[in-house]
Structure 1
């Protein structure tokens, strides 16, 4: 039996976004967990899309086989220090980029997943010091089988 990489979706999501968003936003940064470790807000790259593991739920387990729902946040990060109070331009850019991210991921079948990605409930947006963070959540299923 082949081993299951519980973390495989991060690389697959980043690759899908890289392929789908190339050329859409000048200087777009695609960042995973290792890229974000220790990054402070003043060093936040922008525009950026962060892929962040959100957790899993056990949907079903029968003996040595389990179906899990894994959720990943894809956070669109934009910045505009000229409009610190209103955040309108940063928010507008985040909204356009979020639409592109949704089109790239909704219904897409990652190679390591048992089902296509589906939009899930996500935390609300955040605007702080010129940065706009717009989280999108995507869920899929994994099937794990323990050796017999």
Structure 2
């Protein structure tokens, strides 16, 4: 989340477990909400080794831009137009970035639907990161 802090135009970055009620959280907008969306264990050659003590997984994340613009409440066009430079900045900060040596680069992943409600918009961007997990070797 620190990677996303400081994007011009974003008031704050918040962790969240619930993406369904972003507008009800009362946070100043525009803001980013970051949610862990689970992981996918990878199977097959090269993904599981050492008798199962090492495995690759892909972790899935959502970065949701929540913003407000009431100029065009009917279609949401103004809110989407305002959001575009912020979305570009989020993608530039995230794509290709590595959290540590144990993590692979972030790359885009499918995301949920855009939500629009009375001048407020929530636009999710999905990201995926490959990690290598290590367990115990049993004799």
Q: TM-score range by the shorter chain?
A: 0.7 to 0.9
Deviation at 1:108, TM superposition (A): 0.8
User: What TM-score, normalized to structure 1?
Assistant: 0.77
Check 1:51–1:82 CA distance in 2 against 1; reply closer, same or farther (3 A cut): same
Q: How does 1:62-141 map to 2 (within 5 A)?
A: 62=49, 63-111=52-100, 113-141=102-130
Q: Does the residue aligned with 2:99 lie in a helix, a strand or coil?
A: coil
- 1:41 is matched with which residue: 8, 12, 23? 23
CA-based RMSD of the aligned residues comes to 2.3
4+ residue runs over 4 A deviation? 36-40
- Whether the 8 Å contact between 1:48 and 1:77 is mirrored in structure 2 is yes
Q: Does the residue aligned with 2:80 lie in a helix, a strand or coil?
A: helix
Q: Does the residue aligned with 1:101 lie in a helix, a strand or coil?
A: helix
Query: Distance in 1 between the 2:19 and 2:109 partners?
Result: 25
Query: Distance in 2 between the 1:122 and 1:37 partners?
Result: 12
Deviation at 1:88, TM superposition (A): 2.0
User: What TM-score, normalized to structure 2?
Assistant: 0.81
Q: Does the residue aligned with 2:136 lie in a helix, a strand or coil?
A: coil
Paired residues, number: 130
Q: Specify every segment of 5 or more residues in structure 1 that has no aligned partner in the other structure, as ranges.
A: 1-13
- Whether the 8 Å contact between 1:94 and 1:133 is mirrored in structure 2 is no
Q: How does 1:22-41 map to 2 (within 5 A)?
A: 24-25=8-9, 28-33=11-16, 41=23
Query: Distance in 1 between the 2:12 and 2:29 partners?
Result: 7
Query: Distance in 2 between the 1:123 and 1:40 partners?
Result: 14
- Whether the 8 Å contact between 2:22 and 2:66 is mirrored in structure 1 is no
Query: What residue in structure 1 maps to residue 36 of structure 2?
Result: 53
